[in-house]
Structure 1
Amino acid sequence: MSERTNDGGVAVSAAPSPDEGLTPAALAAKYGLAVSGARPSLGAYVKQLWGRRHFIIAFSQAKLTAQYSQAKLGQLWQVATPLLNAAVYYFIFGVILHASRGMSKDVYIPFLVTGVFVFTFTQSSVMSGVRAISGNLGLVRALHFPRAALPISFSLQQLQQLLFSLIVMFLVAIGFGNYPGMSWLLIIPILLLQLLFNTGLALIVARAGAKTPDLAQLMPFLLRTWMYASGVMFSISGMLKDRPEWAKLLLQINPAAVYMDLMRFALIDGYGAAQNLPPHVWGIALGWAVVFFVGGFVYFWKAEERYGRG
């Protein structure tokens, strides 16, 4: 098309664009464009995570190695820290406060050590999870990968740390007359269920911590309260024997208490019958694991496109 100008020249006007009048959404659909960093579907997200499985495992191992790299005792602190905590709790609760009501010393010490190590697994998973995004913003902003890989890798790191602690738990149990038996095989499904629960909880607090970094400062107080309410240092059924049955059951079915009781049942001879475990305790453990893992994963995935953009 052409038209004559005032000075006698000819001006050429461009033909109308074939995209003229299209909305941005229509343009994107026409040329196959997608929003950078947009959240994929849940199925695609799971596939992306599976494709990064080697990165998740390697990242967790690297974090575990670096955790005590500056300490002279190195990886021994993985075992020494919860063991020293157990010694302090035994002195305060076992010797001074006599929290071992109804249990002999031979039962109470493996009871306490098992409780401290198992609760530390959950506690450490939560504390590392709450900082998984906010503490790794450089990595989140520099690379494109499913962000759930971070809290999942931190949970695996804590599992690897617990595996070192299991050696001490076994030695303490044997030292007080609890020898390996068929019940010890239950440790494998117990740890798998607790890992699923811990990972789901880590995903939940990772999203919350990404939005509110101050949550990392509050979390130690919440975890300490949870620890005291979960029977780490005392038997819930023994301590609350004069309280209403519903109060005792409420504390017994909380996730931390459930996984500790199952581990004690596996390691300590006669523990289940003596401590009156809640009915259907395996079903409760499975329920907590599935609900928190699935719910936490979906909850974290829904905010995928917002991580690192604050």
Structure 2
Amino acid sequence: MDERGKLSAPGRLEAGTVVMPEAPRVPDMPLSRLAAQYGLKLSGARPSLHKYLGALWQRRHFIVGYATARNVSMYTEAKLGQLWQVLTPLLNAGVYYLIFGKLFEADRGVQHYVAFLVTGVFVFAFTERSIVTGSNVMRANLQLIRALYFPRAALPLAYVIVELEQMLLGLLVLVPIMLISNEWPTRYWFLLIPTVALQTAFNTGAALIVARLGGSMQDVSELIPFFLRICRYFCGVMYMVTTLPAKVPVWGIKLLSLNPPAVFISLARVALMTTYRQDAPGNQPYNASYCGIFTNDPGGYSYVVDGKYVAVPGNVTVDHGHAVIGHVSVPVLSNAPLQAYCHAVVTNSDLWLAGIGWGLGFLVVGIVFFWQAESLYGRG
């Protein structure tokens, strides 16, 4: 034994011998300085926003590849495969057509209602699915988040890209529907490019927001489908907002017309449907008589006498575009174009300004909101 109580040679301790442990060596500088001296960094620390966006950009090919692979595998076990990406919204549109178009006569004031309805269903489905999947993405990929480090925003982005690819496939299906409805291609169709870009920006921001909320509170994911269901009925997917009863105030119609899904649906219809653009309120000089005919009976008919529109009485039967007025058969027209002579509640400029504001605003807020909790994802 040496003087410190340690064994210095083979042997054994005598009874009663006390071994004094060596005093721990505590660094004589703050731990933060010690970590900086050896280049140590906090595991899982949140990077700066600039570096975070740079890391996402570096992984852009992975994000797109992951989204494409997930899109392809989504319907692998179904016999119809990828056709379900189109069949699902088409079947929904068919149900809406029977219930709202025929039973509740929601096609009042709309020319080519099928094209009008299918456009609304496809555009709204893009936003709806992006938000629903975004609210579940963090909990659904919890094991991946805990196993690997990567910018967590890559997951919501990938799921939005999945929905974007399905949306683009749906737009291809819209082309024959427009042609069958006599809505022929025009230069306005190119407006679909900025419309889809702005809607994708909005969906990305919304998905990032609900991804953070849904990752920490499962109740959020349960409530979102109910919120979106309400939104579907208030954003003009199945009906023209301007045909709402007169008891709805003008500010109420304007509010319904400028909520985010309604804005992107209207912009898509403006791009694809010539009749929708021509029949928009404010597209013609205001005429109280013509506007009154439309307001009193949006789904009715009128005929022309001495170059002026006259409403067809409600008790007169219209058959194959003709009606018997005073024992004379006269050609009649839908009242839908007469709404162009009413005052505009929301103009195309209003729609584009709202679309830019909703798209870019939600994208910026969503990125910052999600990034602020980057170090918290995956924790129990």
Contact kept, 8 Å, 1:230 with 1:251, in 2: the verdict is yes
Amino acid at match of 1:309: R
1:258 corresponds to 2:328: no
Contact kept, 8 Å, 1:196 with 1:289, in 2: the verdict is yes
Offset at 1:220? 1.3
Amino acid at match of 1:98: E
Match of 1:102, SS state, is coil
Aligned residue-pair number = 303
Alignment counterpart, residue 274 of structure 1, candidates 279, 291, 295: 279
> Partners of 2:246 and 2:181 in 1: how far apart?
26
Q: Which has a greater percent of helix?
A: 1
1:159 paired residue number? 164
Alignment counterpart, residue 29 of structure 2, candidates 22, 27, 30: 22
Alignment of 1:56-67 (within 5 A): 56-67=63-74
Cα distance, 1:140–1:240 mapped onto 2, change above 3 Å: farther
Match of 2:274, SS state, is coil
Q: Which has the higher contact order (CA 8 A, sep 6+)?
A: 1
Alignment counterpart, residue 200 of structure 2, candidates 178, 195, 200: 195
1:31 paired residue number? 38
1:48 paired residue number? 55
Amino acid at match of 1:140: I
1:229 paired residue number? 234
The share of aligned pairs that are identical, in percent, is 46
Alignment of 1:243-254 (within 5 A): 243-254=248-259
Contact kept, 8 Å, 1:197 with 1:292, in 2: the verdict is yes
Offset at 1:63? 1.0
1:118 corresponds to 2:114: no
Offset at 1:272? 3.0
> Partners of 1:69 and 1:154 in 2: how far apart?
17
Amino acid at match of 1:87: G
Deviations 1:145-175 (Å, cap 9, x if unpaired)? 0000000010011000011111221111111
Cα distance, 1:5–1:61 mapped onto 2, change above 3 Å: closer
Amino acid at match of 2:346: P
Cα distance, 1:273–1:24 mapped onto 2, change above 3 Å: farther
1:131 paired residue number? 136
1:286 corresponds to 2:369: no
Cα distance, 1:243–1:5 mapped onto 2, change above 3 Å: closer
Alignment counterpart, residue 68 of structure 1, candidates 72, 75, 85: 75
> Partners of 1:98 and 1:61 in 2: how far apart?
40
Contact kept, 8 Å, 1:237 with 1:275, in 2: the verdict is no
Cα distance, 1:15–1:247 mapped onto 2, change above 3 Å: same
1:305 corresponds to 2:375: yes
User: Normalization by structure 1: what TM-score?
Assistant: 0.92
> Partners of 1:215 and 1:208 in 2: how far apart?
7
Q: Root-mean-square deviation (CA), in Å?
A: 2.3
> Partners of 1:166 and 1:278 in 2: how far apart?
25
Amino acid at match of 1:43: H
Offset at 1:21? 3.3
> Partners of 1:240 and 1:290 in 2: how far apart?
33
Alignment counterpart, residue 173 of structure 1, candidates 171, 178, 189: 178
1:148 corresponds to 2:218: no
Offset at 1:273? 4.4
Offset at 1:132? 1.2
> Partners of 2:150 and 2:378 in 1: how far apart?
12
> Partners of 2:24 and 2:132 in 1: how far apart?
59
Match of 1:131, SS state, is helix
Amino acid at match of 2:128: Q
Deviations 1:54-93 (Å, cap 9, x if unpaired)? 1100110011011101100000000000000000000000
